[in-house]
Chain A
């Protein structure tokens, strides 16, 4: 393992986890406000347990697959995933689609749960716990995918997992301290950066899977990322002009 290959993988896992943890925290907090920390915590812990199970099942399975097809499959999925994030981040940065608003999401989730409270008081505990579980599971699935894909293809599963866990612990600690949605986290800038990195990883691993000999080996990942960054910057400026017209 070299620093040049580990640093992008750990950064991608850390930053993507930061974004997803902020989004999951918003829902968990709204559950805690309506139903208390017990229901929110139970749901979140069950979600984390499900994610751990997925990692424990998927990790050894990936290790038993042939390398080239695995690199190709992971590369394609990373390209699809990374470019999806990057496209959305560019459109948000350009003003073509609205930015994600954690405060608004928190309000909507809280109101939805309070509506349930009025309608079916007995079922609220279950519904609230399930909302917390779903938020952690669904947002966490993206983290698990990033960790497994950037980690498994480059034999960096442990450092990528540590990067993701560090981000989750950081957001959980911040959430417990402030007890309100983390609206100041620059989610779109983070998504933009992660999208650039994952798209670069995707291109690299598809190439490796096809037997392409990248000039510079692992060092070509930052070079490809720089190209994605340049094109994304250009696309943001151009789309912003379109929006302003």
Chain B
């Protein structure tokens, strides 16, 4: 059995667990980064709002940006 293709396939599958569409993954990470900044420097519920509204908006925008072949 050739192990290298199997291991690389498993590594790809592991990455694909979390990243399917690069744009949505990048947007989520950006929202988390922004929420982290807000949680550190901005008082109140700003981080909570950024996190929740950002995630919901990202999902909606990404779905609407999809163009079927």
B55 with A199: CB separation less than 8 A: yes
Assuming the contacts A206-B32, A214-B48, asked whether A97 and B24 have C-beta atoms less than 8 A apart, the reply is: no
Interface residues of B: mostly helix, strand, loop or mixed?
helix
**Which residue on B lies nearest to A95, using beta carbons?**
B68
B28 with A76: CB separation less than 8 A: yes
**Which residue on A lies nearest to B13, using beta carbons?**
A138
- Min distance, Cβ B29 to any Cβ of chain A, angstroms: 7
A203 with B66: CB separation less than 8 A: no
A37 at the interface (CB under 8 A from B): no
Interface size class of A (residues with CB under 8 A): 35 or more
B contact residues vs A (CB 8 Å cutoff): 1, 6, 9-10, 13-14, 17-21, 24-25, 28-29, 32, 35-36, 39, 45, 47-48, 51-52, 55-56, 58-60, 62-64, 66, 68
**Cross-chain pairs A/B with CB under 8 angstroms, 27 sampled:** A75-B32, A76-B28, A79-B28, A80-B18, A83-B55, A84-B19, A84-B21, A84-B24, A84-B25, A90-B59, A90-B63, A91-B63, A91-B66, A95-B68, A130-B6, A138-B10, A203-B51, A206-B51, A207-B47, A210-B47, A211-B39, A212-B39, A212-B48, A235-B63, A236-B63, A238-B63, A238-B64
A contact residues vs B (CB 8 Å cutoff): 75-77, 79-81, 83-84, 86-88, 90-91, 94-97, 126, 130, 134, 137-138, 141-142, 145, 199, 202-203, 206-207, 210-212, 214, 224, 227-228, 231-232, 234-236, 238-239, 242-243
